[in-house]
Amino acid sequence: DIQMTQSPSTLSASVGDRVNITCRASQTISTWLAWFQQKPGQAPNLLIYKASTLETGVPSRFSGSVSGTEFTLTINSLQPDDFATYYCQQTYGYVKTFGQGTKVEIK
């Protein structure tokens, strides 16, 4: 199975900061990667699919990019509503493994 290594596990940032979260796949998955946001007590919410396509309704301060097997979620100008946990998930095959998650905390 494809393994996803996500970093960092925790990130402390301030409102207005630009933050980057990285996921590395254990093998080539082309652009088959999604990013989710999860807030406490809520189900995950799809932000980005196919590495860089923004889901409908997601603010444009979120963006995704890929270089080889390394994927990056960027949040430009962090807003108070963005403090949450973020997960990547490879969508290459039927077995869709998640990264370990990154908690974005208020500095």
- Considering only the stretches 14-22, 33-41, 62-70, 72-80, report the one whose residues sit in contact with other proteins under the rule CB under 8 A: 33-41
Q: What is the dihedral sign for C-alpha 80, 16, 31, 103? A: negative
SS3 24: strand
46 is an interface residue for other proteins by CB under 8 A: yes
Closer residue to other proteins (CB): 17 or 92: 92
Q: Give the long-range contacts of residues 37-46, CB within 8 A, separation 24 or more.
A: 37/82, 37/84, 37/85, 37/86, 38/84, 38/85, 38/86, 38/87, 38/101, 39/84, 39/85, 44/87
| Nearest alpha-carbon partner for 50 in 92, 3, 20 | 92
36 is an interface residue for other proteins by CB under 8 A: yes
Number of residues that bind other proteins (CB under 8 A): 24
Q: How far is the CB of 75 from other proteins (least distance, A)?
A: 19
Closer residue to other proteins (CB): 99 or 104: 99
Q: What residues numbered 58-97 form the site for other proteins, per CB under 8 A?
A: 87, 89, 91, 94-97
What is the contact surface with other proteins in residues (CB under 8 A)? Answer: 1, 32, 34, 36, 38, 43-46, 49-50, 53, 55, 87, 89, 91, 94-101
